[in-house]
Amino acid sequence: MASTVTSSKSSRPGYGQLLRTRGAWTFLLPGFAARQPFAMLTISIVLLVQHTTGSYGAAGAAAAVTGVSMALFAPWTGRLADRLGQRAVLLPGVLVHALAGITLTALALADAPLWAVFAAAVPTGASVPQIGPMVRARWGVKLQGSPLMTTAAAFESVTDELTFVVGPLLATALCTAVDPAAGLVTEAALTLVGGLLFAAQKSTQPVVGADGHARVEHAFALRVPGVRVLAVAFLGIGSVFGGMQVSLAAFTESIGEPGLNGALYGTFAAGNMLSGIACGAVAWKAAPQRRLVVGYGALALAAAGLWAAHSVLLLAGLGLLVGMCVAPALITGYTLVENLVPAGARTEAFTWLTGAVALGQAGAVTVAGQLEDRFWGGAGFLVPLGGTALALVTLVALRSRLDDRPRSRTVARGVGHRAPVTVD
C-alpha cells in the first residue's frame, strides 16, 4: 500500500498510472460486467409496462417504485457491506434480484393488476447490487492518501456512463426488436452472472475487522452534514436521468420512431462519459466545493432548454450538453466523500449518493410520466429543470457543509494514515 501511495505522489495523476495500480483489473473487469444491468433496469421496466398497459404514467410509476425501493435499501446494503464484507451481501442479493426481476416480468405479461406489478417492483429495486459503490470502496483501499483518488472518481463516473451508453441501447433493442420482456429478462440474467463474478474477487474487497488492521468506527454516513448536502445534489441529478428516460421515450414514440430512444439517451450518456474523461485528466487547482457549485449551475442552465426542443437533432444536441454537465457534478461529489467520511462508513456513504440518484430518478419518472400523459409532448422535460434548480438552491445555501476541514473529532483511516476526517 505504501509503495502505491508513494508512487502516486511522485508524478502527475493520470488514467495510465491509475490502471497500473496493482490488483485493479481483478475487480474492474467483473465490476463493469456486474454494473451493466443497472443501466438497463429502469428503461426495461418502462418499456415493458408501457407495452402491457398503454400508459406512460403506469410505466413511470412502476419504475418509480423500483427506484424508491432501491434508494431506501441501498444505504443499508452499503452499511452491511462495510460491516460484513461485500461478498456476504452480494451473494444473496443477486439471487433475490434475479428472481424478483423474473417475477415482475411474468406479472406484467400476464396483465396482472398494477398493484401486483408494484409489489414485485419492491424486491426488484431493494436487491439491486451496489456494484459502483463497492468498486469505489475498493479504490479507496488501494489509494489511501493518494492524489489518484480524484482520477479514480472520474474513471468510475466514465465507467458508469459507458454502461448508460450501452445499457439503454441494448435494452431498447431487445424490447423493440425481440420482445417487450427481453430487456428485463436479460437484465436479471446479467445481474446474476456479473454479480457472482464480482463477489468472487475476495482479495480486493475492504477487510472487515481483521487482526492487524486499524479498527475504524462504524459511524452512520448520513450523520456527516456534507453527505446530506451531497444527497440533495444527487437527487437533482437523478431527476435528470429519470426525466430524460421517460420524456425521450415519449418523444420518439410520438414521432413514430421508438427505436431512436436508445440512441438519444445514449447521446446524453456519451456527453456525460466524454466530460468525465476530461475531468479525470485535469489537474484541478480549484477547491472541489467550488467546482461542485459551478458545475451544478451549468447543469441547471443546460437542463432549462430541454422542454423547448421539438426536433431530433436539437434534442440530441441539448442532451449531449446536459450530459457533459452531469459528469463534473458526479465526480466532484464522489471525490468529496473521500474527504468527508471515515473509511469504515465509505461504502455506505457512496450508496446514500447512489440511492439519492435512484430516488430522484424514481420521482422524476413518475412526474414526467404524468406530465406526458396529461399535457403536451415534451412536458416531462420540465422535471430535470425543476429538479436541478431546487438542488442548486440548496447546494448554494449549504455549501459550507462541504468543508472537509475537521471541526470535531478524528477517526483513523488505516495503519500509517492518520489523516483527519470529520464525523459529527
Instruction: Name residue 414's beta-bridge partners.
Output: 417
pLDDT at 119 over 90: yes
Note whether 84 and 349 are within 8 A (CB): no
pLDDT tens, position by position, 282-299: 666 777 778 888 889 999
At residue 414, the 3 state secondary structure works out as: strand
How far is residue 188's CA from residue 168's CA, in Å, rounded to a whole number?
15
For 45-67, write each residue's pLDDT tens digit: 988 998 888 887 788 788 888 87
Distance, first Cα to last Cα, the chain: 29
Segment 247-272, tens digit of pLDDT: 887 777 777 776 677 778 778 877 87
Confidence of residue 124 (pLDDT cuts 50, 70, 90): very high
**How does pLDDT run across 164-174, given as a tens digit for each residue?**
667 777 888 88
d(CA 84, CA 16): 33
| Residue bearing the bigger pLDDT, 349 or 112 | 112
Residue of 304, 305, 359, 357 whose CA lies nearest to 330: 357
The per-residue pLDDT for 280 is: 67
* CA-to-CA separations, 6 to 12, 15, 386, 414, in angstroms, rounded: 12, 17, 45, 16
Query: Does the pLDDT at position 210 exceed 50?
Result: no
C-alpha to C-alpha distance for 262 and 223, rounded to whole angstroms: 39
C-alpha cell recorded at residue 207: 477487510
Instruction: Decide: helix, strand or coil at residue 323.
Output: helix
* pLDDT higher than threshold 50 for residue 1: no
- Is the distance from CB of 87 to CB of 208 less than 8 angstroms? no
Position 3 pLDDT exceeds 60:
no
Whether the CB-CB separation of 237 and 329 falls below 8 Å is answered with yes
At 135, list the grid cell. 468498486
For range 371-391, the mean pLDDT? 82
Q: Which residues contact 191 (CB under 8 A, 6 or more apart)?
A: 34, 37, 94, 97, 98, 101, 128, 129
CA distances, 205 to each of 141, 163, 201, 339, 350 (Å) = 8, 22, 7, 20, 15
Query: pLDDT at position 104, please?
Result: 93
The average confidence (pLDDT) of the chain is 78
The pLDDT of residue 18 is above 70: yes
* 3-class secondary structure, 46: helix
pLDDT given for residue 60 in this prediction: 79
Split at pLDDT 50, 70, 90, the class of 123 is: very high
